[in-house]
Amino acid sequence: MVKSALISVFNKENLSPIIKALKELNIQIYATGGTKEFILEQGAAVIPVEEITDYPSILGGRVKTLHPKIFGGILGRRENKDDLMQLQEYDIPQIDIVIVDLYPFEQTVKDSNSHEDIIEKIDIGGISLIRAAAKNYKDVLIIPSRNDYGFLLNLLKSKKGVTTLEDRKEMAAKAFAISSNYDSMINDYLSTKEPPSHFSKNLMNQKSLRYGENPHQKGAYYGNLEDVFVQLHGKELSYNNLLDIDAALSLVKEFDEGVLAIFKHNNACGIANAERSLLDAWNRALAADPVSVFGGVIATNKTMDIDTASAINELFVEIVLAPEYDEEALKILKSKKNRILLQTNDFEFEKWQYRSVLNGVLYQEHDSINVNEINFATDNKPSDTEFDDLLFANKIVKQSKSNAIVIVKNKQLIASGVGQTSRVDSLNQAIEKAKRFELNLEGAVMASDAFFPFPDCVEIASHAGIKAVIQPGGSINDQKSLDFCNKNGVSMVLTGIRHFKH
């Protein structure tokens, strides 16, 4: 039977119903300074922790609950006779429920430039209360966050405060997760070494997914999707949906100019600029691969208008992403009940990326550079239009799976070859695809994610009608490729930056 509760919270929001329920069950409440005043305002009796410890809050509030009479009451084992005797000897009250809401360290880091303010928001007493109560979950219920008030209120109302071992163990696990996450945030703030000396990433918000990449694999997402987008319509997002969304946004965010891209299996199968209109961008993006668009992802950095929405609506498209939607455009796209419509926020990708490999973690800096310096390496220089196309193509190839070749003309993806084991295969795949969809390669430009080890790619490209090439350079055979370009009127630009993507 619950007889007492200790409350020490920073945010008092939604605490009133808890206090009312504790009062109705005649549960003794102990509290720290600011929380005590709030409880009194609710008309409930409360014993300040100072009366238990015989010590006031000291050091500007840094020390309030760190005392044997508090932690003894939490950690005392109810089935241990020696513990019970010591509790009685030192007049330590047993505490059955501990309710904590920590100082908002993460929010302070976001909102403040003051190092002193941020350090003061490192909670010491609260995190200690959480860990102590969670450790002794056999006897004590920990409520480690205001997000768990609903759980406690249900117990108080439906079970009169009676808790099961399963209830307490569940909350103890959540408490240690919160503690771990809190420490990780502090570590991230204080750590200055990049990459860090040890990997620590603790994400609290878990979103269960229907399955992983395949139906027989379990899957989940951890993080804050609401920072990235708002879902306006459609079915629940899947594991593969999130991978495609990440890939699509990674590409679209490369462009300051308006673009529309079509994605399938993490690669762009169509993209074009929207200088004339978004509908024109859709039509030109679609032309690059009108087959792969089926079940694909559409992403744009411009407002989705009614004309483009009407055209998209004629096909089966699984996801549409845009920063804004015209009202009528949204109505049209909502006509398919399962189509996922996302309104993207203005966000930035994290500086560091990580992925699981060989039971460990690979950690790398986000690929945020497009070119190191522009080197017009051939006698023949690209025209202004060709140069614009080269930069456009280079952004696309950067976000394509290696080995990757991208062919562009008039800021329209003509074709790409991605994920091949040789660069020649990628190029041949792109050329074949362009011909299959009857797109003219004459005057197009080509981008490669890495250098050409031999001149064969520029030879094939030139024979297909490609007039300009952009690539990192760095091969011992660069000169052979340059020599061919000089002899055949092909211009080549070197960037000094490779863009492998696996």
> Residue 206 forms beta bridges with which residues?
222
CA dist., res. 167 & res. 101, Å (int): 19
- Is 67 catalytic? The answer is no
Q: CA separation (Å) from 444 to 265, 397, 403, 434?
A: 25, 15, 20, 11
Q: Which residue has the tokens 């991230």?
A: 188
- The CA–CA distances, whole Å, from 348 to 60, 229, 303 equal 37, 12, 19
Taking Cα atoms as reference points, which of 379, 426, 380 lies closest to residue 407? 426
The helix-helix angle for 125-135 and 165-190 (nearest 10°) equals 150
Dist CA 381 CA 386 (whole Å): 9
Question: Residues 246, 250, 252, CA angle at the centre, nearest 5°?
Answer: 115
Contact indicator for 195, 299 with CB cutoff of 8 Å: no
Of residues 20, 207, 265, 480, which has the active-site annotation?
265
Task: Report d(CA 313, CA 472) in Å as an integer.
Answer: 39
Annotated catalytic residue, options 135, 253, 334, 480? 135
Could you count the other beta carbons within 10 Å of the beta carbon of residue 290? 14
Cα distances (angstroms) measured from residue 204 to each of 130, 145, 146, 316, 402 = 16, 12, 14, 35, 33
CA angle, 404 as apex, 288 and 462 as ends, to 5°?
A: 75
- Verify whether residue 334 is a known catalytic residue: no
Paired with 141 in beta bridges are 97
Q: Cβ(298)–Cβ(320) under 8 Å?
A: yes
Cα torsion through 425, 427, 429, 433, rounded to 10: -170
- Whether 6 and 30 have beta carbons less than 8 Å apart is answered as yes
Task: Give me the DSSP letters along 218-248.
Answer: --EEES-GGGTEEEEESSPP-HHHHHHHHHH
The CA R_g of the chain, rounded to the nearest whole Å, is 30
* C-beta of residue 216 within 8 angstroms of C-beta of residue 135: no
Which residues does the annotation mark as catalytic? Answer: 135, 265
